[in-house]
Every structure is written in structure tokens, then in C-alpha cells.
Amino acid sequence: MTEPSIAQLRTFVAVARERHFGIAAAVLGVTQPAVSATLRTLENHLGGRLVERNAKGVLLTPLGAALLPRAEQVLVCVDELVSDARRAGRPLCGPLRLGMIPTAAPYLLPVLLGALAAELPELSPEIIEAQTKSLLDALAEGACDLALVALPAGRADLVELPLFFEEFLLLVNAQSDLANRRDLPLSALAELDVLLLEEGHCLRDQAIDVCRQVGASGRTARAGSLTTLAQLVAAGMGTTLLPASAVPVEVRGQLATARFALSPGPGRRLGLVHRATSTRAEEFATIAAVLRRALGAADLPVEIACLEEDAG
């Protein structure tokens, strides 16, 4: 049996991901007939059909579904090999595909990008904003190098690098009796209309967990961002849980916050995650240390993770 080429595997993975020969051809920068011919050659080499065409597009055959994860893994290794070769002798330089969840990116990006530019000027960050599942999938597929998400990520194939813990504050209308309280019992949530982000946001799940502790139930506002939720609160449509890092940006005008009496109060841990198999683990640990220092110096209302490797 002839061994498949890297080009053939890239073609198969592109078709499998896009489920369309034309779109896969555009992604690969080749013609659609070339995609069909390359895939047909690969199928002949492997001795079986990988995809099935129908009126709606492309379906994976059982063989295709079984081989896709392994093909993706091969391509990740090849891409890392090429990247490592280009960076030989020059770590912490070149492209960095950095994923960030939407409930963190708007509030942390100025600090994080500033720190990377100042301390690691040869890095070229490319920001990918997406929900947690999409980022973790992108990591596994090699489409993302490093991602900032809520921890734990719950994936054995990922390494976690904690950055900080932040409390949740209750965001309320400035005219509310709860505005500026510092001793709010968690049980107060049971009497409030707590607005939630739309499904897919990890912050939504965390808010639901907090509400469940006191028998409260949140209400989905079908909002895709914390900014939208904040405006709903300003309009008197309810309250919401707001991460402390978002307070300097979101709390203005007709908005105020209340703190829970618990110490520490409910909150979330954020950190970086990368593939356990990545050859850039040492670089990513250095990046995490740079970001911890920057976040600590930025006077954000968060508790920086203290790790031994940052001591120096």
C-alpha cells in the first residue's frame, strides 16, 4: 500500500471539516477537480471510501470518521515540526494563535497584548475569540496554539496554566436598594431575576451553579455578551453576575454593583491551556508568567495565581 502524502491528508481533513468540496478547495487554494482527484487517490491508497456525496453536501463514511482524528493529529505534528524548524534557536517569536473566551477578551486584551508587545516583542499574536468548546476543539485540531478559558477545562489532553481568580459581583440598576452593598447574602439571589447569557458560554454555566446553591433559577436573556446583559440590567429588566475584571468597563451610568458577604465570594478561575503534546510547552509557561505579572501590575480586581516558577 502506498503511504498517503501530507497534501492528501490536508485535502481529506479540509473536506471533512467543511463538508463541501467547493469550500474545501477555496480553503486549500486549489481547484475543486484537484480536491476530488487528490481525495480519490488517497481513498485508493487506503483501500476504502472516506466520504460520501449527497444532495446536501458531504458525509463521512465509517472509515472516514475513524481516520479523521488521526489525520488531524498527523497534520498538527507536521505543522509543529515546520514551526519548530523555523523558530530553531529563536523561541518566543513568530505567530501565536491565542484563543480567548468572549467574557474575558474585551476586559483583558489591552493588558495582555501590551505585556506581550513589551516583553516578547518578536511574538505576533493572532486573537481568536470564541466560546470554550470551540476553542478547545480548535486546540485539538491544531487551529489554535494557546487559549485563555475558565478552569478546569476538563480535558486530559490539555495542560492548564492558572492565571488568576476573580469574584462575581451582582450587577444591579443604580436605583436598586442593593446598589453598593458589601454584605449581600448569597441567598438574596433566590429573590432576584438573574439574567443569563445564551447557551454555550461557560459563564452562563457558572452563574447557574451559583444560583443553584441557594435554590435560585436564572433566566436566559439570549444575550451574546456581558455588555448586552449590562444594558438589560440598566433598563431595569433584572440583575446578573458580573466577573470582577469586567467591572471597570461595564459599570457606568445607570449601573452599580453589590458584593456578596462570603469571602471569597463565588467566582471563577481563568488560565491558559495548550495541548499536552505541544513542543512549545516551555514557551507557553513563560507567556503565562508574563501575563500574571502584567495582570498583577494592572491593578485589576483579581487574585493572581502564585506559582513557584514565577518566583524568579
The domain segmentation of the chain, as residue ranges, is 6-86, 94-160+274-298, 165-267
Percent of the chain with pLDDT over 90: 73
Residues ≥6 apart with Cβ < 8 Å to 226: 103, 106, 197, 203, 240, 242, 243, 246, 250
Residue 309 confidence class, pLDDT cut points 50, 70, 90: very low
Residue 46 and residue 128: Cα distance in Å, rounded? 35
Over residues 227-244, the pLDDT tens digits come to: 999 999 999 999 999 999
Ordered DSSP codes for 34-77: HHHHHHHHHHHHHTS--EEEETTEEEE-HHHHHHHHHHHHHHHH
Distances (CA, A) of 265 to 81, 168, 241: 45, 7, 12
- Within this chain, domains 6-86 and 165-267 share the same CATH topology: no
Q: What is the pLDDT of residue 81?
A: 82
DSSP state of 274: E
Over residues 18-76, the pLDDT tens digits come to: 999 999 999 999 999 999 999 999 999 898 999 998 877 899 999 999 999 999 989 98
Q: 94-160+274-298, what's its fold? A: D-Maltodextrin-Binding Protein; domain 2 (3.40.190)
Residue 112 and residue 298: Cα distance in Å, rounded? 10
Q: What is the pLDDT of residue 116?
A: 95
Residue 299 confidence class, pLDDT cut points 50, 70, 90: confident
Over residues 122-153, the pLDDT tens digits come to: 899 999 999 999 999 999 988 999 999 999 99
Mean model confidence pLDDT for the chain: 90
Cell of 1: 500500500
**Architecture of the domain delimited by 6-86:** Orthogonal Bundle (1.10)
Q: 165-267, what's its fold? A: D-Maltodextrin-Binding Protein; domain 2 (3.40.190)
Distances (CA, A) of 83 to 21, 78, 88: 28, 9, 9
Question: Cα dihedral sign for 152, 153, 154, 160?
Answer: negative
